[in-house]
């Protein structure tokens, strides 16, 4: 089965750091662009970052640019999100999501993980 | 604020047809994708591109677009269609993805 499983969420103080991971299985990970999307409690979806299949192109939302870093390890079928200088407003469920093609920034995301919860609070 | 605008809430009688809309200037240049999200679940892609419905999505859900407005139409709404629906697309700058604020669909 095609599957994405996020991990690494937790409670962190403002200004702290976390590294999220997304383990992919059931498909050729290296053939697909990948995305991170978040959802604050009771709020809508917010795109965070995207990366092409071989990391040639990377994009970030303005709200996280300079603080978050997306990366991937195709040999390990894994996607990562390094989050630094965390703020209270970064509190959300973080989903990794696959783009259904190598193209990036289409907004198309056909496979989603169940998400990992990040809480930023003092 | 979102560059894609959706009505916050829409209701439809069981078995009737409902259209959920998404407006934004970027839709004149880029295709929209539609997602269904039920409470406590991850979003589910239900329609994307010019005319693409992922496998397993019932054909009573369909998408269309004209000018700066995209629509998701549910023909013969069922109780299981009650959910939040989000649109997304590339933004006007071309270097970001943007989501609409979401529409809560109630099936009466």
Residue B57 touches partner A, C-beta closer than 8 Å: no
CA distance B66 to A72: 37
pLDDT value at position B1? Answer: 46
pLDDT value at position A79? Answer: 98
pLDDT value at position A105? Answer: 84
CA distance A58 to A55: 7
> Nearest-CA residue of chain A relative to B6?
A44
Contact B43 A114 (CB under 8 A): no
Contact A44 B48 (CB under 8 A): no
Residue A113 touches partner B, C-beta closer than 8 Å: yes
Question: Going by C-beta distance under 8 Å and a sequence separation of 6 or more, which residues neighbour residue B4?
Answer: B22, B23, B24, B26, B27, B32, B87, B88, B89, B98, B99, B100, B101
When pLDDT is cut at 50, 70 and 90, the band that residue B72 belongs to is very high
Tokens in use for B77? 């709404």
Question: Going by C-beta distance under 8 Å and a sequence separation of 6 or more, which residues neighbour residue A31?
Answer: A53, A102
Question: What does the pLDDT average to over A63-71?
Answer: 98
Question: What does the pLDDT average to over B64-82?
Answer: 96
Contact A112 B44 (CB under 8 A): yes
pLDDT value at position B2? Answer: 55
Question: What does the pLDDT average to over B25-30?
Answer: 93
């Amino acid at each position: 089965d095609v599957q994405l499983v996020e991990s690494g969420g937790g409670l962190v103080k403002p200004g702290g750091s976390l590294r999220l991971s997304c383990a992919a299985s059931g498909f050729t990970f290296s053939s697909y662009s990948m995305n991170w999307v978040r959802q604050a409690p009771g709020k809508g979806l917010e795109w965070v970052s995207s990366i092409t299949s071989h990391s040639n192109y990377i994009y970030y939302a303005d709200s996280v640019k300079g603080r978050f870093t997306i990366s991937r390890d195709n040999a390990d079928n894994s996607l990562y999100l390094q989050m630094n200088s965390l703020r209270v407003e970064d509190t959300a469920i973080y989903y990794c999501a696959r783009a259904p093609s190598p193209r990036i920034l289409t907004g198309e995301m056909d496979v989603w993980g169940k998400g990992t919860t990040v809480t930023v609070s003092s | 604020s979102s560059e894609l605008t959706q009505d916050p809430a829409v209701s439809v009688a069981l078995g009737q047809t409902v259209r959920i809309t998404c407006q934004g200037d970027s839709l004149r240049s880029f295709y929209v994708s539609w997602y269904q999200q039920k409470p406590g679940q991850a979003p589910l892609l239900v329609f994307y591109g010019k005319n693409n419905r992922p496998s397993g999505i019932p054909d009573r859900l369909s998408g269309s677009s004209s000018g700066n407005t995209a629509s998701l139409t549910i023909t013969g709404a069922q109780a299981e269609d009650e959910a939040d629906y989000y649109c997304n697309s590339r933004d006007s700058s071309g270097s970001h993805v943007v989501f609409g604020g979401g529409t809560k669909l109630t099936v009466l």
